[in-house]
Amino acid sequence: MVGSYYNVVATAPDGIRVANVRTGAVLEFDHAEWEGVRADLTGTPSQTGVPSELADALRQAGLIVEDQAAERREAFHQHMELKYNTRQLHLILLPTEQCNFRCVYCYETFPRGRMPAWVRRAVVRFAESRLDNMHELRVSWFGGEPLAALNVMEEISTAIMPRCEKLGVSYRASVTTNGYLLTEAVFRKLLAWNVRHIQVTLDGPADTHDSLRVLASGKPTFAKIWSNVQRIARLADLPETFSFKIRINFTPESLPRVPALLYQLSALFQGNPRFGVFLRPVGKWGGPNDASLDVFDTVAAMEQAMTLAQDAWVHGASCADPIFEDLRPGGTACYASQPTSFIIGADATVYKCTVALYDDRNRVGALQPNGEMLLDEKKLSAWVKADGASDQECRDCVLYPSCQGEACPLIRIRQRTRPCPATKPLVEAQRLRAPAEVAAVESAATKDVT
């Protein structure tokens, strides 16, 4: 047995944490345990031997394997199975392309209003036409601000859900909202429509947030959002299968104020596992204010996110680990690369990517009134085939099972370069490998991975 090709290690609050990117398993060791398994996980024989029960756990988690070359072949087949699972359908729906906010880093131009009735009916017809062969339908409500078109969400949800139930198709939904309209009454409607994941953005305490995320009128938004979040967090009858995430976008200027918000959230959520936080750097995403935005470079952004996450853990906040959250099969592969994932705009335009809404290469088709989706196969192919299956450098990467060469197909399309995930520099610095074995293992695997 040798250490897996896909092991990544990092310090944990009380010891060492090791993740296996191919299996998604994460094991934590105290310092004494770590000294006992370190040699085994780096591919060299242990001097002291590992207890049999621990060795079994390492094997089951995929941290030790019989053959790294065989493991790498399995990673490739796993990629193909995840990507071409035709029994899943993912629809990202834009019930309106208008928004009540004007965030300084936003890239959207709000060209259209609510999805008209004929498009709503077409969405339902399209979904119903696919359900006979589906195991799971996922709907992600996006925008604009989706809660500004609550009637559209209701009409589509209440039409599709009974059909899914009748056919035994799993239906689950999520919503990305600025939170301003997320009252308790609206929240309970979302639950009735099987929305089980909600994401709301707060970019710091009130003064910081209100400098970045304002109403279209220019008025502040933090107080209203915070009131809504407080009300929901204190409800006693939340379903078990429910998650509520606060996304915190940060810039070099706003970073010093983020911990204050983390402490507020920690006190509010009080360890409730349904509520958590994740951190993302602001980027230049194509908005009118890009030239004036001060943003972190990729490596600095990830380092700052790690520091903030560790600070959050110390204060009891449930904060997603910026590295380990993504170290699982398909963890950083973009939805836009998946053949069964589509964005449907308010005017029935079909897209692949929510960031490049105004790039013609992203307009891959249109939904017809009868529910038929007419697709430009050439445009679609550029998104779906922009992966690492034929890119040997991607296949040789420790993160291949996670990103699959698909961290951002838009980068491959626009820049014709490899779209590595933001976590890669930090992961590579912490990778568990036995240097003496690298050349032999990679040479054998390169010849034999098919």
Domains contained in the chain, CATH given: 2-69+425-448 (no CATH), 81-326 (3.20.20.70)
Helices (H), 62-205: 68-83, 117-131, 150-167, 184-192
pLDDT at 431: 61
Q: Which two tokens stand for residue 444?
A: 């054998």
pLDDT at 422: 82
Q: For residue 98, what are the contacts with CB-CB under 8 A and spacing of at least 6?
A: 110, 112, 113, 114, 143, 144, 145, 148
279, 248 in Cβ contact below 8 A?
A: yes
C-beta pairs of 72-75 under 8 Å, 24+ apart in sequence: 72/5, 72/395, 72/445, 72/449, 73/448, 73/449, 73/450, 74/22, 75/6, 75/22, 75/400, 75/401
Q: Residue 46 and residue 116: Cα distance in Å, rounded?
A: 66
Tens digit of each residue's pLDDT (9 = 90 or more) over 391-411: 889 999 999 999 999 999 999
The vertex-228 CA angle with 227 and 231, nearest 5°, equals 85
- Decide the pairing of beta strands 363-367 and 2-3: unpaired
pLDDT at 33: 84
Mean pLDDT for the chain overall: 88
Kindly report which listed range (67-71, 86-90, 270-274) carries the lowest average pLDDT score.
Answer: 270-274
Kindly report which listed range (74-88, 153-167, 428-442) carries the lowest average pLDDT score.
Answer: 428-442
Tens digit of each residue's pLDDT (9 = 90 or more) over 174-198: 999 999 999 999 999 999 999 999 9
Tens digit of each residue's pLDDT (9 = 90 or more) over 297-343: 877 887 788 778 777 776 666 777 767 778 899 999 999 999 999 99
Q: Residue 448 and residue 6: Cα distance in Å, rounded?
A: 17
